[in-house]
Chains A and B, each alone.
Chain A
């Protein structure tokens, strides 16, 4: 599975837009990019998934450039409740074994 690199931590203030970038230089043709959010002592929660260009849902947007070697999770107008760890994963929907690793993620801290 493709190795991903993302910042260890980020700080922001309420109402700001937050962009978290993930690098995945060895992404494979059949890999999808998925982002999860995890609060302390809870399981991760799926946020968004994409293959190329831009995907938007009610909570976030995912921007993927044409070469797909990186992706950016965009959280509009964050609030204190968005303080969490965000994980970027790159993997195929089928095959690829099951060695899914979440890595260390990005700890986002939102302040007033």
Chain B
């Protein structure tokens, strides 16, 4: 596989469930990102990892917990979510973590919280 992949593509969960989103990049990049995009709203940057270290956390609620075990993989662990957390969750990667670097996005995970 090439590029940035995300699994699952669709996820429905109850508010008491625990689930994880997975992202994998095959580009040899050093930086990885999680974004949230709610319906008809701009992309919101959630987390940034550079060389497996978290370098940015944009005031994201603790019910979202990121994990970056190596430079190719990024997870977003979800627990006790709220219905307003329903959104498209996008993973991206770039060669370096400078904001002007070209970001390569995955196809996203469509999350629905019931």
Number of interface residues of B (CB under 8 A): 27
> Are A98 and B97 in contact, with the CB atoms below 8 A?
yes
B50-93 interface (Cβ within 8 A of A): 50, 55-56, 58, 88, 90, 92
> Are A92 and B99 in contact, with the CB atoms below 8 A?
yes
How many residue pairs bridge A and B at CB < 8 Å?
Answer: 71
> Are B45 and A99 in contact, with the CB atoms below 8 A?
yes
Query: Whose C-beta in chain A lies nearest to the C-beta of B47?
Result: A98
Minimum CB–CB distance for B44 against chain A, Å:
8
Docked pose: A93 CA to B92 CA in angstroms: 16
Q: Which B residues contact A (CB, under 8 angstroms)?
A: 4, 35, 42-43, 45, 48, 50, 55-56, 58, 88, 90, 92, 96-108, 110
Interface 1/0s, chain A 91-109, versus B by CB < 8 A?
Answer: 1111111111111110000
Q: Which A residues contact B (CB, under 8 angstroms)?
A: 1, 31-32, 34, 36, 41-46, 49, 89-105
Assuming A43-B90, A98-B56, is B100 touching A93 (CB within 8 A)?
Answer: yes
Ordered by A's residue number, 8 sampled pairs between the chains whose C-beta atoms are within 8 Å are A34-B102, A43-B105, A43-B106, A91-B100, A92-B99, A93-B98, A100-B99, A102-B42
Minimum CB–CB distance for A89 against chain B, Å:
7
Chain A facing B: main interface SS: loop
> Are B98 and A44 in contact, with the CB atoms below 8 A?
no
Query: Whose C-beta in chain A lies nearest to the C-beta of B101?
Result: A93
Contact residues in A for B106 (Cβ distance below 8 Å) = 43
> Are B42 and A105 in contact, with the CB atoms below 8 A?
yes
